[in-house]
């Protein structure tokens, strides 16, 4: 059964439109509270957020709705998404709520839920919340109204957790690292983790004002980080997105190292240490070069649909522990329950230190196949994928590639976009064919 409000990654959109309003968030908090208020004793739910200005407004609305349903609330303040998953688990809360639109600009916001195990909610729970959203809202008797308090030591707890995922016998002493926090949720915690493990840290993107989250910085815009790494002759650059679950890196030569390459490096390091259990899960967007490089190491590789939810599902199905997306959303299930940018960065740094190799050398074992992607923005939720002219254009490009590459068109799960991707041997041909396909999609919007 399809969902009315929840997408592949919670509920997300433009602030003030559709579901992203205070009124809806009030009702959502109440609905979630009704679902989770069962069981012995009064239940508690954690709420955390990134740094976008609308987060405070939605935090208050969710808090009121949860209290009306009789659920106690622990406020975490600005925290990375994976930190909320971790704290939900360690506090034995019945759920955790994240107020964030991840890598999107500040005009957007959204809601994600974690279960008591620190994992994404199963479909049946999301359906149950949606059922309550369509019912009249009531309030429990006054003596049962939920109470709210702020968790004062949330930051320190998460920093210690992250440090615990780095091998105790290793240190970052002598390493110069530039960290770009995208003016987002990692701004006060990310640099501290690397500093406490011994690195010299130069911070960027750590002055959030509510409006500058992801603005020309972070994992979606690493150009400033590349420049800074070269200027400071740093060993490495690390860039997170607004809510801290994605990661890209920059090597000492100023080259961006994306999620596919980082996944390869982590898998290679774990294999050499004897810690790799099973294979690696990527997505339909993962570069074919990753698949080939892992095959050369004798590591199995499988592709899931795009989205960390589907990566997690395939990892569970195969009982594997490592997966991720080219965007930098990497899941290390031997360390935590969800994608975590800081934890993923520490796994890469551990390989660098253990093998005494720079990032540029570590990634050289994987040769990326030229890949071009163009995002075509849609004015509404129309079915572009089923358009006959688009399908014809896809067949034409596939014929041109003649087995030398692949084509992928897919709607974004978080934005009104169609992602057009072409992969092949010749970068000029790949770029030409990708533009050709993108034009075919754009022509359906006229």
Measured at the CA of 339, the angle between CA 215 and CA 423, to 5 degrees, comes to 70
- φ/ψ of 89, rounded to 5, equals -70, -45
Rounded Cα distance, 284 and 261, in Å? 15
Catalytic residue, from 54, 67, 100, 102: name it. Answer: 102
CA distances from 238 to 50, 93, 159, 328, 379 (A): 19, 31, 17, 11, 34
Token look-up 């790949």 returns 430
Q: Is 326 helix (H, G, I), strand (E, B) or coil?
A: coil
Among 27, 80, 71, 75, smallest CA distance to 51 is for: 80
**For 297-426, where are the alpha helices, taking DSSP H only?**
308-318, 341-355, 359-363, 388-401
Catalytic residue flag (residue 67): no
The answer to whether the beta carbons of residues 424 and 318 sit under 8 Å apart is no
Cβ contacts of residue 360 below 8 Å, gap of 6+? 251, 252, 253, 255
Annotated catalytic residues are 102
């Amino acid at each position: 059964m399809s969902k009315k409000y929840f997408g592949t990654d919670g509920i997300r959109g433009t602030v003030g439109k559709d579901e992203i309003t205070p009124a809806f968030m009030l009702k959502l908090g109440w609905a979630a509270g009704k679902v989770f208020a069962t069981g012995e004793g009064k239940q508690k739910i954690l709420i955390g957020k990134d740094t976008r200005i609308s987060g405070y407004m939605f935090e208050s609305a969710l808090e009121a709705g949860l209290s009306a349903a009789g659920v106690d609330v622990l406020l975490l303040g600005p925290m990375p998404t994976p930190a909320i998953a971790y704290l939900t688990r360690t506090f034995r809360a019945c759920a955790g709520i994240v107020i964030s639109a991840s890598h999107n600009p500040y005009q957007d916001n959204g809601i994600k839920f974690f279960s008591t195990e620190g994992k994404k909610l199963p479909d049946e729970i999301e359906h149950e919340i949606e059922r309550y959203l369509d019912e009249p809202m009531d309030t429990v008797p006054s003596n049962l109204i939920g109470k709210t308090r702020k968790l004062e030591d949330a930051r320190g707890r998460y920093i210690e957790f992250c440090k615990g995922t780095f091998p105790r016998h290793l240190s970052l002493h002598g390493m110069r690292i530039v960290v770009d926090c995208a003016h987002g949720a990692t701004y006060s915690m990310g640099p501290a983790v690397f500093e406490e493990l011994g690195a010299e840290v130069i911070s960027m993107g750590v002055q959030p004002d509510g409006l500058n989250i992801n603005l020309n910085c972070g994992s979606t815009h690493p150009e400033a980080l590349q420049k800074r790494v070269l200027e400071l002759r740093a060993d490495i650059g690390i860039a997170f997105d607004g809510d801290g679950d994605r990661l890209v890196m920059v090597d000492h030569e100023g080259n961006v190292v994306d999620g596919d390459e980082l996944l390869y490096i982590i898998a290679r390091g774990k294999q050499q240490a004897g810690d790799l259990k099973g294979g690696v899960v990527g997505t339909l967007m993962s570069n074919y070069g990753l698949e080939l490089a892992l095959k050369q190491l004798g590591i199995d590789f499988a592709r899931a649909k795009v989205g960390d939810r589907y990566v997690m599902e395939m990892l569970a199905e195969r009982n594997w522990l490592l997966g991720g997306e080219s965007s930098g959303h990497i899941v290390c299930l031997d360390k935590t329950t969800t994608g975590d940018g800081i934890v993923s960065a520490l796994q890469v740094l551990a390989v660098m230190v253990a093998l005494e190799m720079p990032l540029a050398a570590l990634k050289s074992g994987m040769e990326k196949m030229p890949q071009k992607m163009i995002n075509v923005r849609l004015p509404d939720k129309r079915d572009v994928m089923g358009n006959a002219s688009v399908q014809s254009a896809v067949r034409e490009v596939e014929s041109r590639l003649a087995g030398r590459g692949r084509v992928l068109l897919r709607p974004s799960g978080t934005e009104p976009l169609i992602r057009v991707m072409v992969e092949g041997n010749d970068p000029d041909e790949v770029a030409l064919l990708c533009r050709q396909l993108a034009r075919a999609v754009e022509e359906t919007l006229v």
